[in-house]
Amino acid sequence: MVNVVTSAGRNGVHDFILLRASAIILVLYTLLLAGFFIVTPSVTYDVWQGFFACMSVKVATVMALLALLVHAKIGVWQVLSDYVKPAFLRGALQFIFSVTLLAYLMFGSLTVWGV
């Protein structure tokens, strides 16, 4: 049996399922926002704030944020592993992107929950 050292415990089926699941979550969130804009005649700050004050919208937003980060993490990993051959440079770029995605998660969560 051949073990792939560079996969770090991941396989293609796992990534495929995560990409499809995250894409479905993002589409549903986009439809939620589009439905809000279609149903709401005039979007003001108060209406927008009231929409995002709803707990279900906050949960949907956090789920969409997590789905976006998973989607980006796998996508960046695939692109870097295909096009960046030097291992040190690829690792450094993956680290930079991972830290950036964690910062997005932190700031996104702080924005949604208003802590």
Annotated binding site: 71, 83
What letter does residue 5 receive in the DSSP assignment?
G
Q: Which residues belong to the annotated binding site for heme?
A: 71
Q: Nearest CA to 75 among 99, 98, 103?
A: 98
Provide the b/e sequence for 45-63 (b: ≥16 CB within 10 Å).
eeeeeeeeeeeebeebbee
Shortest CA distance to 74 belongs to which of 82, 86, 85? 82
Dihedral sign of CA atoms 8, 3, 16, 77 in order: positive
Give the residue numbers of the binding site for a ubiquinone.
83
